[in-house]
Amino acid sequence: MDIKNNILETIGNTPLIKLNKITQKVPGTILAKVDYFNPGNSIKDRMALKMVEVAEKEGKLKPGGTIIECTSGNTGMGLALAAVVKGYKCIFTTTDKQSKEKMDILKAVGAEVIVCPTNVEPDDPRSYYSVARRLNKEIPNSFHCNQYDNPANRLAHYETTGPEIWKQTEGKITHLVCTAGTGGTVTGTAMYLKEKNPNIKIWAIDVYGSLLTKYFRTGEIDMNEVHPYISEGFGEDFVPENYDMSVIDHFEQVTDKDGAVMARKLAKEEGIFCGYSAGSCLQGLMQLKDQLTKDDVVVCIFHDHGSRYVGKIYNDQWMMERGFLEVKSFQDIVNGRAAHQKLITIDHNATVADAVALMKKYGIEHIPVLDGGDFTGSISESGLFDKLFDNPSLKTAGIHEVMEAALPIVPMNTPVEKLSSLINKHNGAVLSKDEISGLYHIVTKYDILQALNK
């Protein structure tokens, strides 16, 4: 019988998948090493297990011990799986920019998670690096993996990822493209491939806000290069010891937006539901595509699964709030709101004072008027102001005496350009019905301006 003794035996031997649509105009054959097929849904399973095995062999990790590590989430998952099987405890430090999904998954497999601030120096006592080191000193029988400087990190990829890619491409690989973080994946894989064929090009993909690219080009650690970025799982504000820059041929930087947008394209156009770094990896390749020929065989490493990012890059609202997603329709504007507030309406028998109270309570300028379930008119802040200024006694009048024309109702997929033409000085908003929920939504001139200016 073909049986695995435990979940750790399923790590590795992940598929190499050809990209067809996004890269159809890119010279050569573009392949993705999709490592979310590992049991912990990321490539980090490989090095996590290796670090534990080496620590056990060296006597640094003993029975009943505690594994401590600072992680963006994926390494922690791999370590947690190893801990479950081998009987260790886990304490992980992470940063407040990591997705909630990652933290929840770590807790689900029994780990304790400590969230630390992102925007502090690495040696700040509050940083997730410093907290991990402190815990290691305070907790008896504990082992701090330190994936950044632990040679077992890159050894895992030298022993598994590199050989797998070489075998799967029958030695025909010409380029390896990989995001750069701890340095383990890109360095370990590159070391093996360069031994097989020193002509293979290694392209490391970095993010703006990381200092790795400038360090690669100049050998200078320039903290002026460091600034906050949203991309997860790669980029660094220091240079981990796992790097051997001599096996890397080029560093390419990608923006937060481009990486996120490309990840979504991979899901929609290739059916590969992957994480932030995979989108950035492929975006980096697209920026370098002019350097390729039709005979090249390119392998892009896709580190983790999209389930880690459903609250971020796969969430329309999150993307729109950061200006990452183009606003095209009424639906896009509604999706981009911080909260889907129920449409505020007013009955035609209500008073002007009632309308003013609603506007003040909800901070709104336009209220549709209902008569028996039908939209028969509307009230606007500017219209009321003009009427009350001319005749203050209207404050006690009925809505039907001062209401304006009913707001236009359009389909949810109406383009922004069409909405702009419908909204004018006589008509300040537009309505639309969500056919799925049956609820109406309103879009105002302010909503459109805010969406287009993100």
Please list the active-site residues: 44
447 HSE (CA, 13 A, CB side): 27
443 strand-pairing partners: 430
Cβ(182)–Cβ(239) below 8 Å: no
Q: Cβ distance 142 to 88 under 8 Å?
A: no
Handedness of CA 105, 130, 253, 289 (dihedral sign): negative
Choose among 272, 296, 283: nearest CA to 33. 272
C-alpha span between 106 and 80 (Å, rounded): 7
Cβ atoms within 10 Å, residue 148: 20
Question: Chain centroid to CA 319: how far?
Answer: 9
* Structure tokens belonging to residue 113: 């998670």
* C-beta of residue 76 within 8 angstroms of C-beta of residue 38: no
**What does the DSSP assignment read for 201-258?**
EEEEEEEBTBSHHHHHHHS---GGG-------S---SS--TT--GGG--EEEEE-HHH
Give the alpha-carbon dihedral of 208, 214, 215, 217, to 10 degrees. 140
The sign of the torsion formed by the CA atoms of 325, 328, 330, 331 equals: negative
Give the helix/strand (H/E) hosting 334: helix 330-335
Q: Round to whole Å and give the CA distance between 74 and 308.
A: 9
Q: Do 33 and 302 contact (CB within 8 A), yes or no?
A: yes
Q: How many other β-carbons are positioned within 10 Å of the β-carbon of residue 85?
A: 15
